[in-house]
Copies of this chain bind each other. A is one copy, B any other.
């Protein structure tokens, strides 16, 4: 309600600031009896971790997660799972020059006006560092969905700044620092090197997919599955656009083309992106998001200070020149959290198996 809890039945309450003592989250609503340990969560945290290539922030954070509660003898107990990640590589003095001025395109300005106080160190609460607990919680959701339905989540980059990235194969994604589905990423390496040299930043477009999603998840009117996906994705730092299925391209499609035909063997296409009327069809969920360029850049920008006086802002600190590069595992986690919440809600309403009502199932027909 006050904006730091995600989900209702599988709810994740996030806390922490970029340069405070720790960040973390409390997961409430995880079903009991599921195997869980730190290593299962750490894997996704490592995929998001900073400092893994020269194209991302050089902050060195192991982001080691500690499970504080909710697990007994290696299994979830149905009680809250608290996850703690200590901050270890803060360099707060980097932010001395922006304590009293606002970075163009940054949340500095709005936090100040909302609360009358803000923690300027590393962006405080608005830092993308706060996506780490989201990734950790997503790993827990993924684990349950995989075991129940065989659901799998993956994401890749489809555009880097002006450069389109053609889709070659999902297999390439883990083999390059861009999460790009292509074999050769040298063009992206060069692009990023030039950008960094120029003290500038760029945006990215990310494709997120879930397969093995049961049919029937989602509510018809306001808690539609696609609405909740849009909510989750637009809430990710720097996202400015969200599409489901063919997205904006649907505007120019005719009804005779857009509507996915059904055959006894399944749907003939997936323009809908796996959702009809706000409810999952059992097809792959297909989501695309636009991430804006980072606002914390070395190039000088015109701005004002907290007294309304003109000033020039240069952001030192250690920042990602393209926050989209590390966004793939975060987007996966958010999609997993949405699907998880809806899976539990559907189970509440319609049961596992109930007479006259089809059960949750991952196959279409």
Q: Is the CB of A243 within 8 A of B245?
A: no
Q: Is the CB of A215 within 8 A of B113?
A: yes
Copies per complex? 4
Shortest C-beta distance, A203 to chain B (Å), equals 4
Q: Is the CB of B251 within 8 A of A290?
A: yes
Interface size on A, residues (CB 8 A): 159
Q: Given contact pairs A241-B247, A261-B302, enumerate 17 new A-B contacts (beta carbons under 8 Å).
A: A1-B223, A2-B9, A2-B349, A4-B26, A5-B11, A8-B8, A22-B69, A31-B350, A31-B351, A109-B281, A110-B278, A114-B218, A117-B356, A230-B233, A250-B293, A255-B294, A255-B297
Q: Is the CB of B4 within 8 A of A222?
A: yes
CA distance A228 to B114 in the complex (A): 17
Which residue from chain B places its CB closest to the CB of A14 in the assembled complex? B221
Q: Is the CB of B278 within 8 A of A235?
A: yes
User: Which residues of B are found within 8 Å of A263, using beta-carbon distances?
Assistant: 302, 304, 310
Q: Is the CB of A68 within 8 A of B105?
A: no
CA distance A357 to B105 in the complex (A): 22
Q: Is the CB of B262 within 8 A of A304?
A: yes
Does A299 interact with chain B (Cβ within 8 Å)? yes
Interface string of A260-275 (1 = CB under 8 A from B): 1111100010011101
